[in-house]
Each structure stands twice: as structure tokens, then as C-alpha cells.
Amino acid sequence: MIGQRFNHLPNVVKNLLIINGLFFLAKATLISKGINLDKWFALHQFQSQDFMPHQLVTHMFMHGNLSHLLFNMLSLWIFGKTLENVWGQKRFLTYYIITGLGAALIYTSYMQFQIADLAQTNPEYMDLAKKGMFNIYDENSKKLSSLVNTPMLGASGAVYGLLLAFGMLFPNSVLMLLFPPIPIKAKYLVIGLALIALFSGISNVPGDNIAHFAHLGGMIIGVILLKYWKNNGDIYY
């Protein structure tokens, strides 16, 4: 049954699921051999020694753990197949990549603001941070090093862009939440997720390793892109 449903998925969604799965399998296999693919494919900050330009794209295919992968791929499966059927392969892939890139740039801009603020008041710690080091006696040095050297990974930015698009195309569609299992209209789900991402990002709770501004960024870029298409005569919602 699952195999039949997978075979009937539109091509771009199907291939995205396969690519993400292969990246995760490769990461899980190689980590046991002391090779961490996050070093090359997750998105590092510009100041990090591990930053490479291609990471702006490849981070969308890396995931931290199985639950992270499953949540994103389930969302891609549910919302992506509908959007690809409506838009077609080229338009859907364009939207997916642009929202993923935009999410990464918005998140990186937010991180750069934090890095610049700490570096301005503690310039002597930037050189340490660039080397992946910090002053063990200074909390600001630890935080700066963490900001510079903690990579971002996952398809969440693009997935939140898909959620936004689904909510705009089918605002009154009723969806069933997993936790709690209650029905909710798509437009209210999108608004709720956007507010959660904004509040969580601003709160900046210690120990929270979720890239909330990447989630919000995917939605923001999604709105801009859909409005641009509509203003240019392409009616996609």
C-alpha cells in the first residue's frame, strides 16, 4: 500500500524524498567511521572555517536525527504533492529551492546580527571563535564561539514555505493535527505556526537549537514569491 502511494507521488516530491533519505543514510553510515557529513553539507556561518558556499543549498538535505527527517518528509509528502500537482514540476521545484535559500539567508542574517553584537563588545574573542575555540572563563566567548560554529541543517525552511503556500491556496481546507489530534483550517494553522516561530525566535531560550527564524523566513519568502507571481499575471493561488 505504501509502495503504491509512493509510486503515484509527483516526480519532484518523490525525488526530494529519495535524496533526503539517501543523505540521512549516508550520514548515519559514515558517522560510525568518524566522518561527519555536517562538516561539508550543513550550513555554517561565514566566519567559520567550515563554511562553503554550496552549503546554502545542501543544508536542505541534511537532518539532525530521524524524528527531524520524518517530520519534514511527512510534511513534504502531504503538502508538496498537492502543490506540485497544482503548479507543475518546474514551478514547484523553483518555489521549494527559493524558499529554502531565502530561509537560510534570513536565519543567517539574524545570526550575523548576534555575532556582530558580541564581536563588537568582545573583539578579542572573534579570532578564537573562528578557530572553534573560546575562553572557558567568559560566557560571552562561549556564546560567540557557539554562534559561529553551530551549523544549521534541515529542510524546515522550505517545508514551512510549502505550508504557507498550501494555506494560501487552500485556506479553508481542514487538517488534522497530530498533537493534539484536533481539526484546524489551513489558514489558522499557518498563522499559528508563524506566530510560534516568531515568538520562539525572539525568546531565544538557552538550549533551544531550533532555527525558528529559518521557519519564519521560509514563510516570508513564500509570501513574497507568491505575490510576485500573482502581480506578473501568474495565478497560483
Domain ranges of the chain: 2-231
Distance (Å, whole) CA 149 – CA 130: 8
Place of cell 578557530: 131
Give the pLDDT of residue 237.
Answer: 57
Amino acid (one-letter) located at 110: Y
Q: Report how far Cα 128 is from the mean position of its chain's Cα atoms.
A: 28
Give the pLDDT of residue 180.
Answer: 84
Place of cell 499559528: 192
DSSP letter at 77 equals: I
Give the pLDDT of residue 165.
Answer: 97
Give the pLDDT of residue 177.
Answer: 87
Among residues 43, 38, 39, 46, the alpha carbon closest in space to that of 54 is found at 43
User: Under CATH, what is the fold of the domain 2-231?
Assistant: Rhomboid-like fold (1.20.1540)
Give the pLDDT of residue 62.
Answer: 97
CB 209 within 8 A of CB 224: no
Give the pLDDT of residue 135.
Answer: 87
User: CA-based angle 147:152:154, to the nearest 5?
Assistant: 165
pLDDT digits (tens), the chain, 237 positions? 556 567 689 999 999 999 999 999 999 999 999 999 999 999 999 999 999 999 999 999 999 999 999 999 999 999 999 999 999 999 999 999 999 999 999 999 999 999 998 888 778 888 889 888 888 888 888 889 999 999 999 999 999 999 999 999 999 999 998 878 899 999 999 999 999 999 999 997 877 889 999 999 999 999 999 999 998 876 565
Distance (Å, whole) CA 96 – CA 218: 9
Give the pLDDT of residue 163.
Answer: 97
pTM value surpassing 0.95: no
What 3-state class would DSSP assign to 1? coil
User: CA-based angle 23:27:32, to the nearest 5?
Assistant: 160
Give the pLDDT of residue 3.
Answer: 61
Distance (Å, whole) CA 18 – CA 161: 20
